Amino acid sequence: MKKRHVLILALTCIGIFLLVYSIHFNYKYPLHVDEWHHISETLKIRNGEYIMGVNMFRVGFDLFLLPFSYLFDLVKLYQFLPAIWAVLSALTLFFIVKYKTKSYWIAVASMIFFTSLKSNVNIGGLWFFIPSVFCIPLIYLYVFFFSEGIEKQNKRYILISLGIMLATIFAHTSSFLFAIPILAIYSLFYFEYIKKEWRFFSTFSIIPVIGLLFYSLVKKIDILSAIKEIFFRLQFKYGYSPLELNNSPLEIYSLIGYTLAILGLYHILKNKKTKNYLIYILWPVLTLTSVVIFKIFGISFLAPYQRTFYYFALSLPFLSALGLFYLLKAKDIFVSNIRKIKDKKTWKKYLEIILFIIIIILAFFQYNNIPGNVKIYHLIDDNDYNALLFLKNQSLGKVVSSPSIGSATYAVSGQKALGAIFFYGNKVKTKDFMSSSNCTFQNSMIKQLNVSYVLLEKPSICNWTLIYNNTDVIYNVRNISNPPPKIKTKK
């Protein structure tokens, strides 16, 4: 690449980092309950407390975080990870598109459209560093190497794609499963080659075999039972997600992005490049079909609806960039046909710049406009963080607090929470405890649930041992004996 191209690419990466990181300008902690969960799971691996279970199918992501946990405080580091990963994902897309199109500018445009993908707590997105986002560059890579390997009959590329697929399965299984129909239908167009090399392609049977054996091991069931259970678990009916919404297409991508993607698809078909870009046509068509099936019948196969919706969006930036390229070419024809323009070359250049700027503005229009029911939430603040840091130096025990603070308890303090918003403990009993002002009832729950600490945002009337008092308050409630509440007397 030329020096100016390297400079533009570097500036684009800086812009991507700042845009994605901007959500953390006024908040330095993880934004999503899943982020807190995976910090906790990573620390549990390090502390030898990891529990084998269904979440093992995301263990690859936690293992990725593990080395960083020895070098940094993951809670403080996490604010930078979404932006760093967004840059890495965009660069992955850049090199793939540049290789496919031989065009530097289409590749840069792909990065920009990729960054314009929106985020919210229901669908996910680049603002969060969670397993589905971690797998974005892996998805782009295994789709690229698989299609290039088959198209060019390059076994090395195909083996690379197989390795990436296996890594993806153990980081976020849905990020591979959604692509099975895409890869399978694509393979049918090269059936003669696959038939000829059937022994080589039989190596792909390692994926379901390893997955099946691993699942039966984790669930401690026999192979036949595992097959039956997996079959039913790969049907995601309405209500599977804690938050089922009738998502608008504009929640995740801009109107101009969709329009240019359709134009890009038209450009491929018009120029008879269908075979070269076949997998990048099948990808949006099949994922969109899955989304429509869920909208009509309330069921999604292989991956939850929310994930499939986002995988559909991931296929669009490349097509949008092709559409933009096609539009700019059409601009040249338009200017050339206006006879009154004398310096057509200069006019083409200025019009190209103006069009590009307008399109980029439209692509990021309402980028931060998130529906109210899926807005970003903050689980803890500085006061909560400092209180949890204090608990880090206390003897181990169980902590009862609000479910939001409970979600961050292990990640910050290493203490176990009685309940959290999701994943850990008993949220119902936690809410019962926190909503009560009856000391006798609370004390009975403390004894029954073996609670060691109570973390509150304001002092309690109960006669517990206060050990921390700095906005948030913490009580040591080990070995309580149902003491009567304190009686406030008038002075």
Q: Which two three-digit tokens encode residue 119?
A: 């985020």
* Spatial separation of the C-alpha atoms in residues 234 and 181, rounded to whole Å: 14
Instruction: Considering only the C-alpha atoms of the chain, give the largest distance between any 2 of them, rounded to a whole number of Å.
Output: 95
Residues 462 and 338 in one domain: no
**Would you call 214 exposed, middle or buried from its count of C-beta atoms within 10 A (0-12, 13-18, 19+)?**
middle
Q: Name the pLDDT band for 30 (thresholds 50, 70, 90).
A: very high
* Spatial separation of the C-alpha atoms in residues 7 and 384, rounded to whole Å: 43
* 172: CB partners within 8 A, 6+ apart: 57, 58, 60, 61, 131, 132, 134, 135
* 343: CB partners within 8 A, 6+ apart: none
Q: Name the pLDDT band for 440 (thresholds 50, 70, 90).
A: confident
Element (H, E) at 468: strand 465-470
* Spatial separation of the C-alpha atoms in residues 465 and 488, rounded to whole Å: 17
Q: What pLDDT does 267 receive?
A: 85
Torsion of CA 442, 446, 447, 453, to 10 degrees: -140
**Vertex 370 angle, CA 364 and 371, to 5°:** 140
Q: What is the mean pLDDT of residues 194-218?
A: 77
* Spatial separation of the C-alpha atoms in residues 476 and 455, rounded to whole Å: 9
Residues 110 and 14 in one domain: yes
- pLDDT higher than threshold 70 for residue 218: no
Given 328, 363, 398, which residue is the final one in a domain? 363
Q: What pLDDT does 487 receive?
A: 44
Q: Are 41 and 155 in contact (CB under 8 A)?
A: no
Q: What is the mean pLDDT of residues 244-259?
A: 82
User: What CATH number does the domain containing 430 carry?
Assistant: 3.40.50.12610
Q: What is the mean pLDDT of residues 116-129?
A: 89
Q: Which domain holds residue 119?
A: 3-28+79-196+234-363
* Spatial separation of the C-alpha atoms in residues 400 and 59, rounded to whole Å: 27
Residues 281 and 417 in one domain: no
- The number of helices, as runs of H, and strands, as runs of E, in the chain is 24, 7
Per the domain annotation, does 205 fall within a domain? Answer: no
Given 295, 330, 363, which residue is the final one in a domain? 363
Q: What is the mean pLDDT of residues 189-213?
A: 81
* 435: CB partners within 8 A, 6+ apart: none
Per the domain annotation, does 432 fall within a domain? Answer: yes
Domain count across the chain: 2
- Provide the percentage of residues in the chain whose pLDDT is more than 90: 38
Q: What is the mean pLDDT of the chain?
A: 84
* Spatial separation of the C-alpha atoms in residues 411 and 421, rounded to whole Å: 14
Cα dihedral 431, 436, 437, 441 sign: negative
- pLDDT higher than threshold 70 for residue 346: no
Q: What pLDDT does 164 receive?
A: 94
Residues 250 and 112 in one domain: yes
Element (H, E) at 299: strand 299-301
Task: Please tell me the pTM assigned to this model.
Answer: 0.86
Residues 250 and 386 in one domain: no
Per the domain annotation, does 243 fall within a domain? Answer: yes
For helices 33-46 and 59-71, what crossing angle results, to 10°? Answer: 70
- pLDDT higher than threshold 90 for residue 98: yes
How many CB atoms within 10 Å of residue 20? Answer: 23
Q: Choose among 457, 379, 310: nearest CA to 39.
A: 379
Q: Name the pLDDT band for 334 (thresholds 50, 70, 90).
A: very low
Bridge partners for 468 per DSSP: 474
- pLDDT higher than threshold 80 for residue 383: yes
| Burial readout 415-450 (b: 16 or more C-beta within 10 A, e: otherwise) | bbbbbbbebbbbbeebeebbeeeebeebbebbeebe
Given 329, 363, 397, which residue is the final one in a domain? 363
Residues 257 and 311 in one domain: yes
* Spatial separation of the C-alpha atoms in residues 226 and 205, rounded to whole Å: 17
Residues 346 and 267 in one domain: yes
Q: Choose among 183, 206, 180, 208: nearest CA to 194.
A: 183
The top-scoring range by mean pLDDT among 15-24, 289-298, 413-422 is 15-24
Per the domain annotation, does 96 fall within a domain? Answer: yes
Report residue 128 CA to chain centroid gap: 6
Residue spans of beta strands (DSSP E) within 70-226: none
Per the domain annotation, does 33 fall within a domain? Answer: no
Q: Are 82 and 20 in contact (CB under 8 A)?
A: yes
Per the domain annotation, does 252 fall within a domain? Answer: yes
Q: Are 40 and 66 in contact (CB under 8 A)?
A: no
Per the domain annotation, does 36 fall within a domain? Answer: no
Residues 356 and 410 in one domain: no
Q: What is the mean pLDDT of residues 205-220?
A: 73
Residues 154 and 275 in one domain: yes
- pLDDT higher than threshold 50 for residue 354: yes
Residues 306 and 441 in one domain: no
Amino acid at 64: F
Q: What pLDDT does 301 receive?
A: 81
Residues 347 and 418 in one domain: no
* 238: CB partners within 8 A, 6+ apart: 244, 294, 298, 299
Q: What pLDDT does 112 receive?
A: 94
Residues 349 and 395 in one domain: no
Per the domain annotation, does 448 fall within a domain? Answer: yes
3-class secondary structure, 118: coil
